[in-house]
Amino acid sequence: MVFRRQGLAILHTENSDISAPPPASARPSGAFQQTVSFVRRMIHGLRVPPEMSERLYLDQASDFSYTIIAIAMIGLSTLSLILLDFWGSSGAVLREILLLATSLCYVALMTQGLFWLRLASPTGQQAKAYIDTMVRLLVLLGVIWSALLFVLMQHRNLNQLCLLYGVFVGCLATPVMVAPVSCAIAFWLPISIGISIAGFSANVLEGVVMLNLVAFMGLTGFCILYLNSRMNERAIGAIRLEESSELVGLLLRDFEESASDWLWETDSALHIRRVSPRLADVVQRPVDEIRGPFPLALLSNLPQESQKPGSAVDRLQRMMADRSPFRDVIIPVIVSGEERYWSLTGKPVFDKQGRFAGYHGVGSDVTGPQRQQEQIIFLARHDSLTKLPNRVLFGEMLHQACENCATHSIALLCVDLDHFKVVNDTLGHATGDALLVAVSERMRGCIREFDSAARLGGDEFAVILVTGDVTEATAIAARIIDRVSRSYYFDGQLVQIGASVGISMAPADASGAAALLKNADLALYRAKLDGRGTWRLYDAEMDERLQSRRTLQNALRKAIVQGEMRVDYQPIVSLAQRRITGAEALARWQHPELGLLLPGDFITLAEECGLIGQIGEWVLRQACAAAVDWPDNIAVAVNLSALQFRDSGLVETITEALSVSGLSARRLELEITETAMLETTPQTLEALWRLHALGVRIALDDFGTGYSSLSYLRRFPFDKIKVDRSFIHDLSVETENSSIVIAIIGLAQRMNMGVTAEGVETAEQANLLSSYGCTQAQGYYFYQPMSLEHFAEILADDARLETSQGQIFPV
């Protein structure tokens, strides 16, 4: 076992402390010190760790048995030659007895060796006992050989002396081939002593010959010690390596049986070999079917994308072709119809000559972690609610599309949901989230598979269309608006929203992502200004209008401070008495360059830039301060924006304005549009009830436009309904508007509410409204909006309306 393990032992001792030469700095300088160090190292090599002695004896016993059988056969042949050569010489009786004894020793050694080789499973204890027995036999053999040589030297002739000298050399050289060292020394020591005695006692060998013989004895003794030292080192290294290999093998078997990972290896042709049951279980195929080049032999069915150049499988094959190590290469595979992921790690193996011998590696199923990682990556680039691409991924897609727009034109659609915030505030975020999911599904259904939709945040969406056809882009935009605007039902409740779309074309409008997105936003802004629920294409003038609008916003911020704002008043007339009963306060902006601007020119602008609250409060205070000087029966009406109702301090602001001015709360009338009511929240209703409790009158303005609902009238007891001017403009006996106005007036009467008709411009309209039962009216037929001073003069005159019927009073 020693000789068969030498290759492994050398591998082990190359890295061990025993065989590694000491560093150059630690080597002895003198020849004597080097010799001492060499002897110490040799003696150290002869030492066997106690825990390894039985294992070493067990390994050495078989090799020793083969060696000793060969030595015994040669020894018996030598004895035959001696018998023949000395036949007939004197001293025959003693010589023949010694020859027989020597032969019996050799036979005993052969018998012991053969017996040992026939043992099926010898133990370490048996090996030690066997070695001890052989040591005793070898000592006996050495002693008998010494006696035989002594006798032969006494009765030899000159020719026989040459034979004996050869026997001397052979006996001294024989133990050099023997291991363990105890067996070698057991024969070498007595035979060396015996040869020395025989040679000197015969007094026939010259001094030089004896000196040479003694030197040869020393050489053989040294060789016995040195060679056994080296063989011990290598044998011990081999044993340790074998134990380590057994431990590694045990761990690997336990690893494959209990862990989720599995081992694989290939030959030099990169063909899979040694397929373990664990590996066969992973690929879910019989062991004998797993043949062929790695990794394709394991991958019976690859996803389509894994077969393309540059895929993970392609990169793995190229690394293996280059004999490169690889680690944690993730490969998608199909196992039993299910897509899974494997992580493969491998290292090339080379033989002693440096030739490539194959790959060894480990694989593991990382489907769970890989899917979690994919989910993390997906959530980082997609909206968690709608699963649409988010702003990050959308930006990447838009940049890529713009880079290719010279050959593949695109259209960018910016989509904004109308009145979504109302749903979110009134029905809750859960309903709002469900609505966004439903909108995203409808939007997916409006585009083609090669188009892309994304949610940018809140109620903002974007769509990238692969088309350069404006007609096609507008058709898809119209389809999105139509489908998004259809009714939704959540928990049995009807929800209605709308959508506005801005469209920009690339490369026609812009070829850069930022510019294209800016243009689409401008088009969306225009769609909102034009009444929402529509789409608009970008044109170059939009940017100019936007710049003008921004300039106007900046001027509006300065208007209040610089005194450019004023309040005009349009009288409200009682149709029954034809007398002024109040006035509506209307904001005016005297722009230094553009002249007089009406509310329609700047109120929306004020809402956009956050100035509506400041302007609204200023108008309220001005109106209250003016009305306090009017007769007690004259009320003042002030419009409130929907955005003002979001101010939690609205009630306190109104209360303070009344307190500072001294105006009675019953003379203040607040006009609220239906749009504002659509965006009401529980907090808004609470504020209205608090104002109502103070005595402030509440009027529902622009009734009948857009989002009329009887639920508003049930939720809050309005004091008045104002009929929108769109119903009054074409009012006549036979028009459809007459029926609508009659219905509104009848509804108000049944709910004990007053009615004011806006936009009355003719006597016919005034007379019809009076006949329908309308209580109040305002419009150019009676009075235009006028300054505070002019309105005060009219009140002072206290003229009856019928004396000047048909007259239009100038501002």
pLDDT score at 602: 84
Cα separation, 439 vs 488, whole angstroms: 9
**CA 22/CA 810 separation, integer angstroms:** 118
Span 754-764, mean pLDDT? 91
DSSP letter at 21 equals: P
Q: pTM (2 decimals)?
A: 0.50
pLDDT at 12: 35
* Residue 3 to residue 227: CA distance in whole angstroms: 12
Give the model's confidence band at 276: pLDDT under 50 very low, under 70 low, under 90 confident, else very high: confident
pLDDT of residue 618: 92
On the question of pLDDT at 34 being above 70, the answer is no
Write out the two tokens for 571.
């009288």
Helix (H, G, I), strand (E, B) or coil at 506: strand
Higher pLDDT pick, 715 / 153: 153
Query: Looking at residue 665, what is its pLDDT?
Result: 92
Confidence of residue 802 (pLDDT cuts 50, 70, 90): very low
Q: Which of 219, 188, 242, 220 is nearest to 2 (CA)?
A: 242
End-to-end CA gap in the chain: 124
pLDDT at 260 over 80: no
Residue 37: CB partners within 8 Å, gap ≥ 6?
Answer: 27, 28
Q: Mind listing the pLDDT tens digit for each residue in 466-496? A: 999 999 999 999 999 999 999 999 888 889 9
Would the pLDDT of 373 be above 60? Answer: yes
DSSP per position, 570-587: EEEEETTTTEEEEEEEEE
Distance CA 540, CA 545 (A): 9
Q: Which of the residue ranges 86-95, 402-411, 425-434, 755-764 would you say has the lowest mean pLDDT? A: 86-95
Q: What's the mean pLDDT in 196-218?
A: 77
Query: Rounded mean pLDDT of the chain?
Result: 82
Model pLDDT, residue 173? 86
Residue with token string 């074309």: 505
Residues 569-592 pLDDT 10s: 999 999 988 889 999 999 998 888
SS3 of residue 775 by DSSP: coil
Query: Which tokens in the block code for residue 288?
Result: 């004998």
pLDDT of residue 308: 67
Quote the pLDDT of residue 159. Answer: 75
> Tokens 């206290």 belong to which residue?
798
Among 98, 112, 104, 117, smallest CA distance to 76 is for 104
Q: Give the per-residue pLDDT at 2.
A: 33
Q: Which of 241-245, 397-401, 426-430, 504-508 has the lowest mean pLDDT?
A: 241-245
Q: For the CA atoms of 130, 132, 138, 144, what is the dihedral angle to 10 degrees?
A: -120
Q: What is the model's pLDDT at position 251? A: 55
Q: Is 799 helix (H, G, I), strand (E, B) or coil?
A: coil
Planar angle of CA 13, 18, 20, nearest 5 degrees? 70
Predicted confidence at residue 803, as pLDDT, reads 41
Residue 455 has pLDDT above 80, yes or no: yes
Instruction: State the pLDDT at residue 680.
Output: 65
Kindly report, residue by residue over 338-359, the tens digit of the pLDDT. 788 888 899 998 887 788 989 9
Tell me what pLDDT residue 61 has: 84
Q: Do 435 and 501 contact (CB within 8 A), yes or no?
A: no
What is the reported pLDDT for 733? Answer: 60
The SS3 of residue 564 is: coil
Structure tokens at 328: 């944690």
C-alpha 107/C-alpha 447 separation (Å) is: 101
pLDDT on residue 639: 92
- Read off the pLDDT of residues 619-675 as tens digits, 9 standing for 90 and up: 999 999 999 999 999 999 999 887 887 788 889 999 999 999 999 999 999 998 876
Which whole-number Å values give the CA distances from 34 to 26, 38, 41, 45, 500, in the listed order? 11, 6, 10, 16, 97
pLDDT of residue 572: 94
For 516, counting Cβ atoms within 10 Å of its Cβ (0-12 exposed, 13-18 middle, 19+ buried), the class is buried
Each residue's pLDDT tens digit, 105-147: 999 999 998 998 888 888 878 888 888 898 999 999 989 998 8
pLDDT at 7: 34
Question: Mean of the pLDDT values across residues 16-22?
Answer: 41
Please give the single-letter amino acid code of residue 539.
D
Report the pLDDT value the prediction gives residue 30, as an integer from 0 to 100.
Answer: 60
Determine the residue type at 128. K
Q: What are phi and psi of 746, to 5 degrees?
A: -65, -40
Residue 13 has pLDDT above 60, yes or no: no
- Is pLDDT above 60 for 39? no
pLDDT at 370: 82
> Does 422 score more than 50 pLDDT?
yes
- What percent of the chain has pLDDT above 70? 84
On the question of pLDDT at 74 being above 80, the answer is: yes
Per-residue confidence (pLDDT) for residue 808, from 0 to 100 = 40
- Confidence band, pLDDT 50/70/90 cuts, at residue 259: low
**Which tokens sit at 239?**
């044993």
Query: Where do we find the tokens 């882009």?
Result: 473
More confident position, 712 or 7: 712
**Considering the chain, what percentage of its residues have pLDDT values greater than 90?**
28
Dist. CA 304–CA 302, nearest whole Å:
6
What confidence score (pLDDT) does residue 559 get?
A: 84
The pLDDT value given to residue 252: 56
List the single range of 16-20, 599-603, 755-759 with lowest mean pLDDT.
16-20
Model pLDDT, residue 48: 60
Confidence of residue 548 (pLDDT cuts 50, 70, 90): confident
Q: Helix, strand, or coil here: 492?
A: coil
Q: Which residues contact 652 (CB under 8 A, 6 or more apart)?
A: none
- Tell me the CB-side half-sphere exposure of residue 513, using CA atoms within 13 A: 16
Best CA proximity match to 801, nearest among 651, 625, 621, 581: 581
Residue 10: the pLDDT is 31
